[in-house]
Copies of this chain bind each other. A is one copy, B any other.
Amino acid sequence: MLSTIERVLVLSPHADDAALACGGIMARLADRGAEMMVQFMTVDGFHHYGTDGGTTYRQRLDEIEAVAKLLGFSWDIAYGDQDLIEKLDTVPKRDLVDLFEKRINELRPDLVLIPSGADYDQDHVATFETAVAALRPIAPVFGKWLVPHVLVYESPKIMWWVDAIPRPEVFVDISDVIDRKLEALAAYDTQARPSPHIRCEEAVTALACLRGKEIGVEHAEAFKVLRSVLS
């Protein structure tokens, strides 16, 4: 089915979420020639625990550019350098829905990849909730593109949660491209932190290993499906 995907839109709350969660499927889709766009939501020099506080917006842009080349995507930042990291809850939802609908109607993607809403991070929640609104089903005859495949990605950090963990049902074998995924992750080097950080390479690899075993391969990425129209 990957072979039928021609256009992909990835919604990434922050700079490294896309690579962290779906760098593998992106590498595979890029290899098959899919047109891929990443919509980053907020990017700036925000300080994270265990990272060097001196990160600049410029550095973050350079990192994104490097990863874009590695994984083969075009990109846009909705709120760049506006001190809105962890503040998407203060943006009216209609603005985010409007932005997403614009992207969807322009790109007419076969596949949209979105973050989970079962996340403690308000930017991920805002991105998820407004993506769901923007992806509501309206027949194309009424002027809105109906995206046939909508998948929710995961990463190690979503295990910190207040309820049962949504079980992913869709799997992609990334055994052949996991090195490229880890390379992409490393390219966000202002964000890199060693084990036992929840985002470290060991954790990302462990999750890929577990997901792989669920389909009898070495490494996989897994997704929850919100909609999949088979044709």
Q: Which residues of A contact B (CB under 8 A)?
A: 1-2, 4, 25, 49-50, 86-87, 89-90, 92-94, 97, 117, 120-122, 128-129, 132-133, 136-144, 146, 148, 156-157, 159-167, 169-173, 193, 195-198, 200, 202-203, 205-207, 209-210, 212-218, 225-231
Decide yes or no: A229 and B173 within 8 Å by CB, A137-B215, A159-B167 being known contacts.
yes
Could you give 27 example pairs across A and B, Cβ below 8 Å?
A1-B1, A49-B142, A87-B93, A87-B94, A120-B132, A120-B136, A122-B133, A132-B162, A136-B157, A137-B216, A138-B198, A139-B196, A139-B197, A139-B216, A164-B165, A165-B166, A169-B227, A169-B228, A170-B228, A172-B229, A172-B230, A195-B213, A196-B216, A197-B213, A198-B213, A198-B214, A205-B206
Which chain B positions have C-beta within 8 A of A200? 213
Contact B136 A229 (CB under 8 A): no
What is the CA–CA distance of A7 and B209 in the complex, to the nearest angstrom? 29
Contact B228 A162 (CB under 8 A): no
Which chain B positions have C-beta within 8 A of A210? 156, 159, 203, 206-207, 210
Contact B231 A2 (CB under 8 A): yes
Which chain B positions have C-beta within 8 A of A215? 137, 146, 148, 227, 229
Decide yes or no: A214 and B172 within 8 Å by CB, A86-B97, A94-B86, A226-B162 being known contacts.
no
- In the A-B complex, the 5 residue pairs with the smallest Cβ-Cβ separation, listed nearest first, are A50-B142, A139-B216, A164-B164, A206-B206, A206-B209
